[in-house]
């Protein structure tokens, strides 16, 4: 009988394709919008992932996210180093500074100052040059993702439209950071960040020279736990002994993501789009599936008269729902994946984690189960007399 | 004589609704149908014919009276056993055929067997056999919409007979058919009673098929008002 149920579903072409279209569109919207949301939120904590050497991030207790600016005292570094279980602790500077490019244009960069001695906290992927080149005079490393747009250099030539022609910045180019000379010694490749400002790496001491004089400059302390030391436990000890905030990388990522989710309208906006997808599914696919069952009610009634139990009919309806749901879900997820793959990952924040297909499947399940349940009620309550009415 | 009765219903009552909306559908209906006999239930719309056969087939509960169908009171059975009993013992032919349009004639005929859990190969073989019996050999793979109304009703009859039921209930089996096709379908239904020895109850308004009946039971206002025997020369 289950084969008959499938044939009933596939045989009703117009309704079947309507159900599939509705479910596929709902799945597409839910999966695509969720993936973009996850991609965007993931970018908010990109800097933490781009600095994989640290087990623990020590910051001001009131720091809201990795991009927040609440500097520590220089002595805090020594206090952290004094906590048993700390293998090493290095200072990190992170702040927005003005940049003047060779052709006189001005922009803003996020300057990251890393430990002079160890260069821990530097970029993990270099496209040109080496992190060690930061030891050269006035040296900086720039992130390639903004080279063509922000950190570009004028060639001195003009195009047919009279506008200057630019080229991406490269090793050997110079610029000014707060009116101090900086020389590009390397190009790094960082993950796409939520922040628009280009990232510029330099040593910690040089970053302090670029930074206007203030009493507190150290943004955070990067800590490595000794071998065998649990980072979470060490973080608790650092907090207890210093009164600072100390979080392993993953919780620090979530703290940053949590800040953006709480303090911006991003989740609400994406939530609306995702809810829209869900309601589109309910409105189109759910309604069409319900109509499909209503249309077949006379056949179910006949089967009931012929000895089919309500349980058998419910299984038939459920199978029809599950099959339609699975195909619609597959189409929707496939389209969402194709959308993600066909777009430039530098421009489109699209990250489909395993949770998203599962959540989308859950939403589709709710749609088809809901529609099936309503349909099943009609099947169970089928008036026996209706069997004898045309 | 009593042991030869497929249906023995007496003083059956049934009402729908409550209070001011209460409608009496059956007000003490009696019906007896022996095996091997074709009985037609006739009467105006709303006289209780459909309610009576729904009760006889175990699709509806009666309010009062007694009812024995194939030696069983359907109402005395619990829901599951009653459904199973109906599937094994009662065949249905509907006014609008109620064939599933997206499956073949053979699969349609196999449905009641599949419902009973008969293995698919066995059910399909039996369905093919039944189609040949109703004169539709070679149309096994046709979809209902590829067949004429008469052919569809023959498929419906084959489907009703596939589980070899001892009682066949037909609701207006010829109303959607032209005269000649209706006569041909009724010849088939009559053979089920007269040749195979099954009890057959037919609800109809079509006087042209009265001649196939052993008895014509007239109903009105929820009661059997009289019983006729059609003239011999037309039978």
Nearest C-alpha of chain B: how many angstroms from A326?
21
Q: Is B201 on the interface with A (CB under 8 A)?
A: no
For residue B11, tell me if it sits in a domain.
Answer: yes
Please say if the pLDDT value at position A337 is more than 60: yes
Q: Are B216 and B227 in contact (CB under 8 A)?
A: yes
CATH number for the domain including B66? Answer: 3.40.50.300
B83 touches chain A (CB under 8 A): yes
Tell me if A182 sits within 8 A of A210, measured CB to CB.
yes
pLDDT digits (tens, 9 = 90+) for B191-212: 889 888 999 999 998 888 999 9
Question: Residue B203: its pLDDT value, please?
Answer: 92
Global pTM exceeds 0.80: no
Mean pLDDT of A174-194: 87
CA A373 to chain CA centroid, nearest Å: 35
For residue B212, is it within any domain? yes
Two tokens, residue B42:
């006739």
Q: Which of A128-137, A231-240, B93-102 has the lowest mean pLDDT?
A: B93-102
Q: What is the mean pLDDT of residues A372-385?
A: 74
Chain A residues with CB-CB distance to B under 8 A? Answer: 1, 3-4, 7-8, 10-12, 296, 298-299, 301-309, 312, 384-385, 387-390
Tell me how long chain B is: 235
* pLDDT classification of B43: cutoffs 50, 70, 90: very high
Give yes or no for residue A345 having a pLDDT over 80.
Answer: no
B123-159 per-position pLDDT tens digit: 999 999 989 888 888 889 999 999 998 889 889 989 9
Q: How many structural domains are present in chain B?
A: 1
Could you tell me which residues are beta bridge partners of residue B14? B26
Residue B109 to chain A, least CA–CA distance (Å): 11
- Cα distance between residue A35 and residue B5, in whole Å: 71
Q: How confident is the model at residue B1 (pLDDT cuts 50, 70, 90)?
A: very low
Mean pLDDT lowest among A147-156, A272-281, A346-355: A147-156
- 3-state secondary structure at position A157: strand
More confident residue, B234 or A270: A270
Residue bearing the bigger pLDDT, A275 or A214: A275
pLDDT, tens digit, 9 for 90 and up, residues A74-126: 899 999 999 999 999 999 999 888 888 877 888 888 899 999 999 998 988 89
Predicted local confidence at residue A250, as pLDDT: 92
More confident residue, A194 or B101: B101
Return the pLDDT at B166: 92
Flag whether B136 is in a domain: no
What pLDDT does B76 receive? 93
Structure confidence at residue A384 (pLDDT): 55
Q: Which chain A residue shows the shortest CA-CA distance from B48?
A: A385
A52-69 pLDDT, tens digit per residue, is: 889 999 999 998 888 887
* B117 interfaces chain A, CB cutoff of 8 Å: no
Which DSSP state fits A167?
E
3-state secondary structure chain B: CHHHEEEEEEEEEEEECCHHHCEEEEEEEEEEEECCCEEEEECCCCCCHHHHHHHHCCCCCCCEEEEEECCECHHHCCHHHHHHHHHHHEEEECCCCCCCCCCCHHHHHHHHHHHCCCCHHHHHHHHHHHHHHCCCCCCCCCCHHHCCHHHHHHHHHHHHHCCCCCEEEEECCCCCCCHHHHHHHHHHHHHHHHCCCCEEEEECCCHHHHHHCCEEEEEECCEEEEEECCCHHHC
Residue B175 within a domain? yes
Whether B100 sits inside 8 A of A4 (CB atoms) is: yes
**pLDDT score of B31 more than 80:** yes
Q: Is residue B90 part of a domain?
A: yes
What pLDDT shows up at residue A296?
A: 86
Asked if the structure places residue B105 within a domain, the reply is: no
Average pLDDT of the segment spanning A307-320: 88
The answer on pLDDT for A141 being more than 90 is yes
- Decide if B57 is inside a domain: yes
Q: Beta A86-100 vs A174-177: how paired, if at all?
A: antiparallel
CB contact under 8 A, B111 and A390: no
- The residue ranking higher by pLDDT, B106 or A53, is B106
pLDDT more than 90, % of chain A: 37
**Which of B59, B80, B95 shows the shortest C-beta gap to A390?**
B95
Verify whether the Cβ–Cβ distance A305 to B51 is below 8 Å: no
**Is pLDDT above 80 for A258?**
yes
Say yes or no for a CB contact (<8 Å) between A11 and B95: no
Residue B75 lies in a domain: yes
pLDDT band at A389 (very low <50, low <70, confident <90, very high): low
Whether A301 has a pLDDT exceeding 90, the answer reads no
Contact B50 A12 (CB under 8 A): no
Give residue B234's pLDDT.
46
Q: Are strands A139-143 and A180-188 parallel, antiparallel or unpaired?
A: parallel
Flag whether pLDDT at A251 surpasses 90. Answer: yes
* Domain assignment of residue B78, given as a range: 2-98+164-234
Q: Judge: A11–B102 Cβ closer than 8 Å, yes or no.
A: yes
Per-residue CA distances from B84 to A68, B88, B115, B193 (Å): 72, 6, 9, 23
Query: Would you list the domain boundaries of chain A?
Result: 2-43+266-388, 73-243
Mean pLDDT of chain A: 87
> Which chain B residues are closer than 8 Å to A301 by Cβ?
98
What is the C-alpha to C-alpha distance for residues B1 and A62, in angstroms, rounded to an integer?
A: 98
């Amino acid at each position: 009988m289950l084969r008959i149920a499938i044939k009933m579903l596939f045989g009703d072409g117009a309704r079947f394709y309507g159900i599939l279209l509705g479910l596929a569109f709902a799945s597409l919207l839910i999966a695509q919008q969720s993936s973009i949301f996850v991609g965007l939120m993931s970018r908010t904590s990109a800097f933490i992932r781009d600095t994989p050497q640290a087990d623990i991030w020590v910051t001001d207790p009131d720091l809201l996210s990795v991009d927040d600016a609440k500097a520590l005292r220089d002595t805090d570094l020594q206090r952290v180093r004094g906590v048993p279980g700390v293998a090493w602790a290095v200072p990190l500077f992170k702040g927005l500074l003005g940049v003047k490019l060779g052709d006189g244009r001005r922009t803003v960069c996020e300057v990251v100052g890393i430990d002079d001695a160890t260069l821990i906290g530097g970029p993990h992927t270099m496209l040109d040059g080496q992190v060690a080149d930061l030891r050269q005079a006035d040296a900086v490393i720039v992130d390639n993702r903004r080279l063509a747009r922000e950190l570009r250099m004028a060639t001195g030539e003009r195009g047919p439209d009279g506008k200057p022609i630019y080229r991406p910045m490269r090793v050997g180019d110079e610029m000014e950071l707060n009116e101090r000379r900086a020389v590009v010694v390397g190009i790094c490749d960082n993950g796409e960040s939520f922040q628009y400002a280009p990232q510029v790496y330099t040593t910690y001491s040089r970053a302090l020279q670029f930074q206007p004089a203030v009493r507190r400059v150290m943004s955070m302390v990067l800590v490595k736990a000794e071998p065998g030391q649990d980072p979470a436990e060490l973080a608790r000890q650092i907090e207890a002994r210093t009164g600072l905030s100390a979080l392993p990388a993953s919780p620090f990522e979530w703290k940053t993501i949590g800040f953006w989710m709480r303090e911006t309208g991003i989740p609400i906006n994406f939530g609306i789009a995702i809810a829209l997808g869900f309601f589109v599914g309910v409105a189109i696919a759910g309604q069409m599936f319900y109509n499909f069952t209503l249309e077949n009610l006379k056949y179910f009634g006949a089967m009931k008269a012929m000895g089919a139990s309500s349980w058998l009919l419910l299984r038939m309806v459920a199978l029809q729902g599950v099959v339609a749901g699975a195909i619609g879900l597959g189409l929707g997820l496939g389209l969402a994946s194709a959308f993600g793959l066909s777009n430039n990952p530098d421009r489109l924040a699209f990250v489909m984690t395993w949770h998203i297909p599962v959540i989308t499947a859950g939403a589709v399940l709710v749609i088809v189960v809901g529609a099936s349940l309503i349909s099943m009620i009609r099947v169970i309550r089928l008036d026996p007399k209706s069997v004898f009415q045309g | 004589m009593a042991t030869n009765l497929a249906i023995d219903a007496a003083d059956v009552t049934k009402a729908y609704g409550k209070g001011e909306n209460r409608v009496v559908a059956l007000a003490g209906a009696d019906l007896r149908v022996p095996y091997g006999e074709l009985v037609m239930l006739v009467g105006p719309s709303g006289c209780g014919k459909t309610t009576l056969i729904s009760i006889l087939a175990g699709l509806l509960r009666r309010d009062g009276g007694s009812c024995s169908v194939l030696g069983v009171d359907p109402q005395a059975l619990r829901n599951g056993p009653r459904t199973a009993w109906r599937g094994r013992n009662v065949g249905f032919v509907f006014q609008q055929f109620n064939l599933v349009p997206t499956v073949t004639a053979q699969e349609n005929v196999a449905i009641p067997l599949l419902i009973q859990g008969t293995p698919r190969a066995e059910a399909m073989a039996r369905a093919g056999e039944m189609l040949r019996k109703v004169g539709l050999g070679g149309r096994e793979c046709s979809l209902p919409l590829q067949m004429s109304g008469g052919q569809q009703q023959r498929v419906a009859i084959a489907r009703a007979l596939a589980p070899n039921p001892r009682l066949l209930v037909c609701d207006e089996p010829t109303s959607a058919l032209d005269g000649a096709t209706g006569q041909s379908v009724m010849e088939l239904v009559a053979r089920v009673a007269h040749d195979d020895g099954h009890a057959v109850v037919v609800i109809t308004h079509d006087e042209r098929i009265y001649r196939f009946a052993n008895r014509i039971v007239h109903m009105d206002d929820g009661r059997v008002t009289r019983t006729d025997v059609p003239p011999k020369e037309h039978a």
